Amino acid sequence: MDETNEQQYTGDGSVDHKHRPALKANTGKWKACPFILGNECCERLAFFGIATNLVTYLTTKLHENNTSAARNVSIWQGTCYLTPLIAAILADGYLGRYWTIAVFSMIYFVGMSILTLSVSVPPLKPAECLGSLCPPAAPMQYFVFYLGLYIIALGTGGVKACVLSFGADQFDDTDSKESAKKASYFNWYYFSIYLGAIVSCSLIVWIQDNAGWGLGFGIPALFMGLSVGSFILGTPLYRFQKPKGSPITRLCQVVLASVRKQNLVVPEDSSLLYETPDQKSGVEKSRKLKHHDDLRFFDRAAVVSDSEKRSGDYSNPWRLCTVTQVEELKILIRMFPIWATGIIYSSVYAQMSTLFVEQGTMMNTRIGSFKLSPASLSTFEVGSVVLWVLVYDRIFVPIAKKFTGKKRGISVFQRIGTGLFISGLCMLAAAVVEIKRLQLARELDLVDKPVAVPLSVLWQIPQYLILAAAEIFQFVGQLEFFYEESPDAMRTLCGALPLLNFSLGSYLSSFILTIVTYFTTRGGRLGWIPDNLNKGHLDYYFLLLFGLSLLNLFVFIVSAKIYKPKKAS
């Protein structure tokens, strides 16, 4: 009878929407994924519909200068990728992944609606330029516009933090057949992101530039509404993992208990450290973790003191933690160097929606009689990501398997490292294009004129294609790494760590812009990134990021060599 139940129900503790043990036949797997991936596809269409061309709106409608617009976009995008950390804590500790996605999606929709009103209702729209005179936007206009933007930044956090893990939850880790399909899910998750993004980067950007910003922001708002509907529609098919308690609290307990017991001696025999007596860890449906000998200071949290032995009271987690709880903290510390190398990569990625667009505006955007929006060139990055997902999953991995014998073709670290190297090549390609553009500006005596240089904007395509290749290797590799190496009770939190990379990378990009502007404009100089890019040296900025990327790759290689993977029971 027990064997029949094991075959009938999932073994990972998941439940259905009525809180009953989840039946394998009726829930989860690929039958549930279309609704989750549909939600992600629509949400990404909405996000990229705003983010891709935002720098253009700030410079042409709110009349901000190049540096301020690029900095403001970077700060906003940084916030968009910071809020997933907050949402992950709520999901793991209190709401669960399903309700976090549902609630934050509704917040997202409210922000989209406010943003659409701010560019549609006449009193909220900034005044148009009169010739060369561009009046600044009124304080209320700034307030409503940025209010909508930052409500979107809050809303997107819940979706970004949880959709990946919630989709992966639909595959039972204890079932070898279902578990094998999970790696494919990660690739199709990324495919759905860029299916939505490619529509935004082409059609939505064209609408914004040619049919108006009200319609251009209104369509993404509509798709955000569809995103909510798609997600809720699949509720009866989902498998749900119950919240396992706040992971931040568990980490704090280990740190405090270690400090309190800093004078105790850690026994050489790790079996003497405290652990729950049965097969379960201290968190429901989470596996125990085996002890590692590194970071032994924190092992003190699992040392049973004499007073605890005498009283027999082991119930206070602020004084005594399990080995599994200690190992959770150790895992996060060991993952930190690998995670940190994603920050420079994310700074490189941030250029696509800021300085790549500004570079494109100073190039020839006409293709015959058709005028191309510089922001729409990101379609090439998005489109090639969609193509590369298919090529990587269906062609590269099977071929690589034959040579390496690894089920994924190459290791996760090899995948991430390759992506970091390619991201550096992207900056080098952008610098080469800018060197050529500035050379033409000098030859045609256009340096003092803020006009486009007769170099086709299509010369930017290689830098977008190279960035796409970097993304398939680095970012998807990081998603796999954090999901597999994270403790069971912290998967949503760890799933948000790559997004935190994008947050800090965007903030870092803004910081680098500020520092570069400060030092290059001293003594009355125009600097590397003036309003008239023909007088600047954007190529120097790209070469600076290229150098940082190579340094970052070296740090990653060293970190990967010393990394110790987790050992689950």
| pLDDT tens-digit map of 86-137 | 888 888 778 888 999 999 999 999 999 999 999 888 888 888 777 767 777 8
Exposure b/e, 208-240, CB count within 10 A at least 16 = b = bbeeebbebbbbbbbbbbbbbebbeebeebbbb
pLDDT of residue 279: 56
Q: Please report the pLDDT score of residue 568 as a whole number.
A: 61
Closest by Cα among 238, 302, 250 to 22: 238
Q: Which amino acid is at 100?
A: T
Q: Does residue 259 share a domain with residue 183? A: no
> Structurally, how many domains does the chain consist of?
3
| Same-domain check for residues 121 and 230 | yes
Q: Where is the domain boundary, 290, 305, 327?
A: 327
Please give the Cα distance from 204 to 210 (Å, whole number): 10
Closest-CA residue to 61 (of 12, 119, 16, 2): 119
pLDDT at 6 over 60: no
- pLDDT tens string 413-450: 889 999 999 999 999 999 999 999 999 999 999 988 88
Same domain flag for 211 and 262: no
Q: Quick one: pLDDT at residue 552?
A: 95
CA Rg, the chain, in Å? 26
For residues 354 and 74, is the Cβ–Cβ distance under 8 A?
A: yes
173 with 96, same domain: the answer is: yes
User: To which H or E segment does residue 456 belong?
Assistant: strand 453-456
Residue 373 shares a structural domain with residue 298: no
Domain boundary among 298, 327, 356: 327
Task: Tell me the three state secondary structure of residue 211.
Answer: coil
Which tens digits make up the pLDDT trace of 54-79? 888 888 888 887 788 888 888 898 89
In a domain, residue 129? The reply is: yes
Rounded-to-integer distance, Cα 87 and Cα 78, Å = 15
Question: Is 345 within 8 Å of 503 (Cβ atoms)?
Answer: no
* In contact, 161 and 85? CB cutoff 8 Å: yes
What CATH code is carried by the domain that includes residue 414? Answer: 1.20.1250.20
The answer to whether residue 1 sits within a structural domain is no
165-168: which pairs have CB atoms within 8 A and are 24 or more residues apart? 165/91, 165/97, 165/483, 165/491, 165/492, 165/495, 166/36, 166/97, 166/98, 166/101, 166/238, 167/33, 167/36, 167/37, 168/483, 168/491
Whether residue 197 lies inside any domain: the answer is: yes
Give me the sign of the Cα torsion angle 193, 198, 203, 209.
positive
Give the pLDDT score at 2: 47
Report angle CA 479, 500, 241 to the nearest 5 degrees. Answer: 55
With bands split at pLDDT 50, 70 and 90, how would you rate the model's confidence at 150? Answer: very high
Distance (Å, rounded) from C-alpha 341 to C-alpha 354?
A: 22
Q: How confident is the model at residue 284 (pLDDT cuts 50, 70, 90)?
A: low
Is position 569 within any domain? no
Instruction: Confirm if 59 and 65 have CB atoms less than 8 A apart.
Output: yes
- Residues in the chain, overall count: 569
Mutual orientation of helices 139-168 and 83-90 as an angle, nearest 10°? 50
> Is the predicted pLDDT of residue 80 greater than 50, yes or no?
yes
| Cα distances (angstroms) measured from residue 189 to each of 13, 104, 386 | 23, 19, 11
- Residue 460, pLDDT > 60, answer yes
Q: Is 513:112 a contact under the CB 8 Å cutoff?
A: no
Burial category of 264 from C-beta neighbours within 10 Å (exposed 0-12, middle 13-18, buried 19 and up): middle
Say yes or no: 490 and 377 in one domain.
yes
Distance CA 183, CA 206 (A): 35
Final residue belonging to a domain, choices 244, 274, 294 = 244
C-beta neighbour count of 495 within 10 angstroms: 26
Backbone angles phi, psi at 385, to 5 degrees: -65, -45
Contact predicate 72/64, CB 8 Å:
yes
Specify whether 204 is located in the same domain as 353. no
Query: Does pLDDT of 1 surpass 50?
Result: no
Q: Are residues 106 and 138 in the same domain?
A: yes
Range of the domain at 260: 247-327
Domain shared by 298 and 353, yes or no: no
Do 486 and 426 share a structural domain? yes
Is residue 375 assigned to a domain? yes
pLDDT of residue 282: 58
Tens-digit pLDDT profile for residues 513-540 = 899 998 998 888 888 988 888 998 999 9
- Determine the 3-state secondary structure of 133 from DSSP: strand
Residue 300 sits in the same domain as residue 186: no
Q: Are residues 554 and 518 in the same domain?
A: yes
DSSP β-bridge partners for residue 15? 21, 240
CA–CA dist 197, 78 (Å, integer): 18
